[in-house]
Amino acid sequence: MTTHLVWLRNDLRINDNTALAAACRDGKATVLALFIATPKQWQQHHMAPKQAAFIYQNLCELQQTLAERGIRLHYHQCDDFTTSVEYLAEFCETHQVDALYYNYQYEINERERDAAAEKRLDAQGVICQGFDDSLLLPPGSVQTGSNTMFKVFTPFSRAFVRRLHQGLPECHHAPQARAEAPLSPGKKIPVFDYPMEEIDASLFPAGEEAALKQLRHFGKQSVQHYPDVRDLPALDGTSRLSPYLAIGVLSPRQCLHRVLKEHPDALNEGKAFTWLNELIWREFYRHLMVAFPALCKHQPFIDWTQNVEWQKNAEHLTAWQQGKTGYPIVDAAMRQLNHLGWMHNRLRMITASFLVKDLLIDWHDGERYFMQQLIDGDLAANNGGWQWAASTGTDAAPYFRIFNPTTQGERFDKQGDFIRQWLPELKTVPDSDIHQPHVWAKKNNKTLDYPEPIVEHKDARKKTLDAFERARSAA
């Protein structure tokens, strides 16, 4: 009897799971699945408690779904990647596994773990097969004319779309039920030995069916309006699919095919392309991470930016983290992040710019804090976004382009609907004054239970420009 093992990581689904589909191709093989939790490794990677809870919820759902198809999901917890390889080898020996199937992860620690696992299992006679699964196109497959990785997004996106026009990546069907299906799910997966926080199930319900339902709804009704409303945080204008993509409850291929089914012109600059281009941004940052592994070690892409003299101001950092900077759009966004574990994309740019360009605090502090909070935490996307905002990365905003937090609020939350949702202490401030509430309070002899701005934007902007100029000159 042949035994195939699927090593699950950030691919918690049965539909369009490349490794699972390959393992199940032989209808006579016994197929097992294994998930290994590594809490100490998660701690080193600053995984958010909400993301840990989301992984757990979806893993429990997957255990049931796999059992219905005759596949037992085994679970183990150990400290880190090194001990996970040791356990994997023991598991393969105990269960007489003939072949291991897994989907690649592209972060440097994960790649080193997988290389060690293949070496160990090869010595045991276990055949290992890895697959590019979490991307539309494999890293290194979209390059410049000189066969190098693109360093600017727009030409990468154009080349990426040309590749898609040549042939779309295929989706894999969920595996058919095995001969022994259905199985009892077995013992319930124990709670991770890791901090976990409650998730708003109305926004992020667990399970593959819930994710697919949200994708179908967005693809049919909302994606065409995305270009017009995506920057307005008071509206429900984004897909909210990022948490599912981050842990692999959905694949990007499913997203692409669903949108193209509803909007066949999406790759020809149709309205739906705006959202598909966000998927391509996700690809861009992951391709970059493979081409330039130093990004996994939190190194800036632009070398001279290492010379920037960041401010060490714990009080300012705490005010930013807690949403008490005195800038309403920044504070409302940070409170949304702290409460939901998620933040609207426009607000991610505004809050990141404020930390780095107004407070002149090291972008690494912001990158780390976001990972500690985000239910959709993803190293490549988070690092790419922070380096863009900090003007330290590839395709970064020029360092002299600095968001004005007040005008950003006026532009994207004009009436202050989003601000009032998260800053109830400003509920009595008129729409016309919501972005500068203390100016209104002073004019009208009012008292607000809301902090004064911790910096003056004009002065902070000059200070930041001077710091970047000195850093560039020093190089």
Same structural domain for residues 76 and 153? Answer: no
Residue 46 is predicted with a pLDDT of 98
Within-domain flag for 296: no
Residue 61 is predicted with a pLDDT of 98
Token pair of 239 as six digits? 């897909």
Question: DSSP letters along 366-385, please?
Answer: HHHHHHHH-TT--HHHHHHH
Task: Decide if 281 is catalytic.
Answer: yes
- Given the residues 386, 388, 422, 440, select the one marked as catalytic: 386
Q: Output the domain CATH number for residue 388.
A: 1.10.579.10
- Given the residues 197, 262, 278, 410, select the one marked as catalytic: 278
Within-domain flag for 191: no
Within-domain flag for 35: yes
Domain limit, last residue, from 291, 324, 348:
291
pLDDT tens figures, 324-353: 999 999 999 999 999 999 999 999 999 999
Task: Decide if 440 is catalytic.
Answer: no
Task: Decide if 275 is catalytic.
Answer: no
Inform me whether the pLDDT recorded for 129 exceeds 90. yes
Cα–Cα distances in Å, from 85 out to 91, 127, 410? Answer: 10, 15, 52
Positive or negative: CA dihedral 229, 234, 236, 239? positive
Task: Decide if 345 is catalytic.
Answer: yes
* C-alpha to C-alpha distance for 369 and 286, rounded to whole angstroms: 20
pLDDT tens figures, 264-313: 999 997 889 999 999 999 999 999 999 999 999 989 999 999 999 999 99
pLDDT tens figures, 34-93: 999 999 999 999 999 999 999 999 999 999 999 999 999 999 999 999 999 999 999 999
Inform me whether the pLDDT recorded for 397 exceeds 80. no
What is the tally of helices (H) and strands (E) in the chain? 20, 5
- Given the residues 7, 42, 281, 422, select the one marked as catalytic: 281
List 74's β-bridge partners, or say none.
34
Within-domain flag for 173: no
Same structural domain for residues 142 and 287? Answer: yes
Encode burial over 286-304: b for 16+ CB neighbours within 10 A, e otherwise. bbbbbbeeebbeeebbbee
**pLDDT band with cut points at 50, 70 and 90 for residue 253:** very high
Torsion of CA 465, 281, 230, 161, to 10 degrees: 130
Q: What angle do CA 429, 432, 438 make, to 5 degrees?
A: 50
List Cβ<8 Å contacts ≥24 apart for 348-351: 348/385, 349/385, 349/388, 349/389, 349/403, 350/403, 350/405, 350/408, 350/409, 351/320
- Given the residues 197, 304, 310, 410, select the one marked as catalytic: 310
Residue 181 is predicted with a pLDDT of 82
Look up the pTM and report it: 0.96
Among the residue ranges 53-62, 249-258, 393-402, the one predicted with the least confidence is 393-402
pLDDT tens figures, 143-193: 999 999 999 999 999 999 999 999 999 999 999 999 888 898 888 999 999
Element (H, E) at 8: strand 3-8
Same structural domain for residues 469 and 415? Answer: yes
Residues 6+ apart with CB under 8 A from 158: none
Token pair of 195 as six digits? 């901090």
pLDDT tens figures, 349-360: 999 999 999 999
- Report whether the peptide linkage leading into residue 182 is cis, meaning its omega lies within 30 degrees of zero: yes
Token pair of 109 as six digits? 């620690």
Query: What is the separation of C-alpha 445 from the centre of its chain, rounded to a whole number of angstroms?
Result: 45
The structural domain count of the chain equals 3
Domain limit, last residue, from 79, 108, 131:
131
- Given the residues 197, 313, 345, 410, select the one marked as catalytic: 345
Domain limit, last residue, from 131, 160, 188:
131
Same structural domain for residues 18 and 70? Answer: yes
Within-domain flag for 317: yes
Same structural domain for residues 218 and 111? Answer: no
Within-domain flag for 33: yes
**pLDDT band with cut points at 50, 70 and 90 for residue 415:** very high
Same structural domain for residues 112 and 244? Answer: no
Within-domain flag for 42: yes
Same structural domain for residues 119 and 246? Answer: no
Same structural domain for residues 318 and 245? Answer: no
* C-alpha to C-alpha distance for 87 and 261, rounded to whole angstroms: 43
Residue 351 is predicted with a pLDDT of 98
Same structural domain for residues 144 and 117? Answer: no
Same structural domain for residues 274 and 339? Answer: no
Within-domain flag for 18: yes
Inform me whether the pLDDT recorded for 234 exceeds 80. yes
- Measured distance between the N- and C-terminal CA atoms of the chain, rounded to whole angstroms: 64
Task: Decide if 386 is catalytic.
Answer: yes
Q: Please give the residue range of the domain that contains residue 57.
A: 3-131
Average per-residue pLDDT for the chain: 96
Same structural domain for residues 350 and 466? Answer: yes
Residue 1 is predicted with a pLDDT of 83
The phi and psi torsions of 161 (rounded to 5 degrees) equal: -65, -40
Same structural domain for residues 126 and 154? Answer: no
* C-alpha to C-alpha distance for 388 and 384, rounded to whole angstroms: 6
Inform me whether the pLDDT recorded for 396 exceeds 80. no
Q: Output the domain CATH number for residue 234.
A: 1.25.40.80
Residue 405 is predicted with a pLDDT of 98
Residue 112 is predicted with a pLDDT of 97
Q: Output the domain CATH number for residue 110.
A: 3.40.50.620
Quick one: what percent of the chain has pLDDT higher than 70? 100
Positive or negative: CA dihedral 459, 462, 464, 467? negative
- Given the residues 363, 388, 422, 440, select the one marked as catalytic: 363
